[in-house]
Structure 1
């Protein structure tokens, strides 16, 4: 990189972070989580606004060059890996184990219903949204997968902003999102194979085998190894040693799943769960890392997610109509699936509403699926824009619904203790356990 390239890159990173900070604070002032403003920061700086109104500025920032975007994406990737890893550390494994049946059931209904709805929708959308040369079955399958996923990073940041991650309902939302996303990534590997080499037994069975193998390794080999590493690290009582050790472990887990052809984010999440379940972990020593990730890296990730979004295509009436239809199906089917699963699992209506709202946030995960569909020649540019817009709007709709439902779910002593590390303060409020209506 030349001196000028480095200068432009540093200015772009500073612009993204500064805009994310300002818009995040504005979002909080109007009662929304900061993640909403952070997601809009990239949209503002990207082709949707600055690129359209001031193309010279966009060109000077080198946003029209793939190399610059790759550098920014690398910074964002570090942010999402550490954000998801810290989320995994905060997951109460004991609670999820006690409620394993409920988590699996909710995640199943929240995945199957939008998947079926998305596939059906894919067969009725205008042909202009299907990429040239792609068959309708593969297109419909991609739409179904895009609508059935949830964005764990966005959900985690939203729950943190709303001070719900440490609550029982927050843990159930994260657990359900994790299970449904595991299945969602497997389905994505299948439909990607349909678009390239067709469906073969190896293309379907290998990802499943790798995922099962990764889970077995985490439960058998990784847990004792991580425990020994953490026991050695905490002896120093130096937050720097513990922080570096945890980051190295998270990157190792992420690299492991990536090497297996699975998403690196899944490895970071699994690594965080293994680290958080260790009795040798001193969470207080991770406070500096948590602050840096939540205040710097996470906002940068959400800002970079918007840089590739071009919403100017919405000027076409048929695109607006298709966007509205996809959005309604996406929100209604995901909410209905999660709500139905929660109620049949004997959760109260406010807990069921919170699950339906929380799992509706699709964020950058749906954007990633849209990019894959575009690169494989399944989605047209117009359909890519539709899917990206749905990802943004569902992430905007989820927080107000979560806030409303969260106000009606009372706080337990266990939740307050869990929240001292995740949020840095205690929540006030009446106390009762999460129970059925």
Structure 2
């Protein structure tokens, strides 16, 4: 990288950070998720605005190729990995038996029905969604994921702001979102493995020693993804806890934050070696590290130790620098990749938005009613779980990068993710008084008749 490249990179990063935090602040002041403002900031800097009014300035600041572009692509990947690492750290929740029952019914309906509907529609008209590397099968799976996904970080942030996180409603929403997203990320890992296999760019074991035949490839990535997931949940937290607490681990003693980032890199490298997408590895690294910290913190209760209770400060530090730089840069770069002039199809957007929202909300509302919830509770649950947010944006980014989807569907998927966040925030704000109803015999719905709710272990997210 030359001195000129360094100057251009620093100028680009300064503009990107200013756009991210400036637009994020404005949207936050309007009581909208800041992530929407960050993506809008990217749209302003991209071909949709700056590229139209000042194409020469945009080309000078954000060249199409070269060292600056490579550096921004690397920051895009790091921001995406840190976002999923923090999202994985949030996947801890406790719920009562009745809440688990309602959550299981809602999760089953909210996952199976939209996924099947999306996959079926994409199988009928694959050309509307598929990119250069997308087959009928992978396109159907990606559209199914897009229809069924829920955004844990955005939902958590909205409910925290409305002070309904520690209610029966909040615990059910997070429980359902956790179940749906974990299953969907396993499916995504399989899809991305199928897409990359046989491309001539060997990365994982299967690319080096496997074949391009569809059935063995599908079996390999399904089995490996499920085994990695099960192994991580069973032994990942224990392994992390032992490594972090070992006397010989001078890195963890010197900088607990650095050790967790090294753990993230190690898990991601392991996933890449197996042929699993890095996003899935980052998610599982966050789950394992947070669970390991949580278990270590509980083990230290009642014991005088300088490490007792330290996990909160460590994760706060990781979140602070990630949210200050890497994650906002990621969302701005997502916005910069949206070409609303050439790739935006308003009719296709309205069609997919109506279809995705209609199927997702109807399936969840019906399931909640079957579980015995009242209409307000059921409709609020449906709207909250319809928010795709950051997870939908990540899905759009990784599938576009793998060339599984075309630019038109990429734009639509990002915009649907943003619009559903706004709808969820607006609807929950209107129903917040009903959702905060104290437990007691006068409260309606089976989940609001059981006394004081248990504390939730879920951290508030983005």
Shorter-chain TM band: 0.7 to 0.9
2:13 aligned counterpart, secondary structure = helix
Q: In 2 relative to 1, CA 339–128 (structure 1 residues): closer, same or farther, beyond 3 Å? A: closer
Does residue 389 (structure 1) correspond to residue 415 (structure 2)? The answer is yes
Alignment deviations for residues 179-200 of structure 1 (CA, whole Å, 9 cap, x no partner): 2122213323444566564233
1:217 aligns with 2:245: no
**SS in structure 1 of the partner of residue 335 of structure 2:** coil
1:140 corresponds in structure 2 to 140
Describe the shift of the 1:374–1:35 C-alpha distance in structure 2 as closer, same or farther (beyond 3 A).
closer
Task: Quickly say closer, same or farther: Cα 1:13–1:353, change in 2 above 3 A.
Answer: farther
Tell me the number of residue pairs that the alignment of Structure 1 and Structure 2 aligns.
Answer: 415
Residue pair 1:331, 1:360 contacting (<8 A) in 2 also:
yes
Query: What TM-score, normalized to structure 2?
Result: 0.74
The answer (yes or no) to whether the contact 1:90–1:276 under 8 Å persists in 2 is no
Q: Which residue of 2 aligns with 1:51?
A: 51
CA 8–405 in structure 1, closer or farther in 2 if over 3 Å, else same: farther
Deviations along 1:32-82, one digit per CA (max 9) or x if unpaired, are 222221221112212222123221122112242275344334334444444
Please give the alpha-carbon distance, in whole angstroms, between the structure 2 residues aligned to 1:294 and 1:376.
26
1:269 is matched with: 286
> Which residue of structure 2 aligns with residue 199 of structure 1?
215
Structure 2 unaligned blocks of 5 or more: 198-211, 298-307, 439-451
Write the distance in 1 (CA, Å) between the matches of 2:142 and 2:364: 21
Distance in 2, Cα, partners of 1:376 & 1:310: 18
In structure 1, the partner of 2:30 is 30
Answer whether contact 1:120 1:140 (CA < 8 A) is retained: yes
Contact map agreement 2:27 2:34 (CA 8 A) in 1? yes
- Which shows bigger deviation, 142-151 or 127-136? 127-136
**C-alpha distance in structure 2 between counterparts of 1:241 and 1:114, whole Å:** 44
Cα distance in 2 for partners of 1:400, 1:54 equals 35
Distance 1:194 1:243, change over 3 A: closer
Q: 1:7 to 1:343 in 2, by over 3 A?
A: farther
Relative to structure 1, the CA distance from residue 273 to residue 359 in structure 2 (aligned partners, 3 Å threshold; closer, same or farther) is: farther
1:329 equivalent to 2:391? Answer no
Looking at structure 2, the residues matched to 259 and 165 of structure 1 have their Cα atoms a distance apart, in angstroms, of 38
Q: TM-score of the superposition, structure 1-length normalised? A: 0.78
**Alignment of structure 1 residues 47-196 onto 2, 5 Å:** 47-65=47-65, 67-89=67-89, 92-95=92-95, 99-123=99-123, 125=125, 127=127, 129-131=129-131, 136-159=136-159, 169-192=169-192
Partner of 1:309: 338
Deviation readout 1:82-137 (Å, 9 max, x if unpaired) = 45544555555444899555444433322112112212322454846545796545
Can you list the C-alpha shifts for 1:373-432, whole angstroms capped at 9, x where unaligned? 54555533333333333233333333222333444322888788979x869xxxxxxxxx
Kept in 2, the 8 Å contact 1:256–1:267? The answer is no
**How many angstroms apart in 2 are the aligned matches of 1:164 and 1:76?**
33
Paired residues of 1:112 and 1:337 also in contact (CA < 8 A): no
Q: Distance in 1 between matches of 2:122 and 2:397?
A: 17
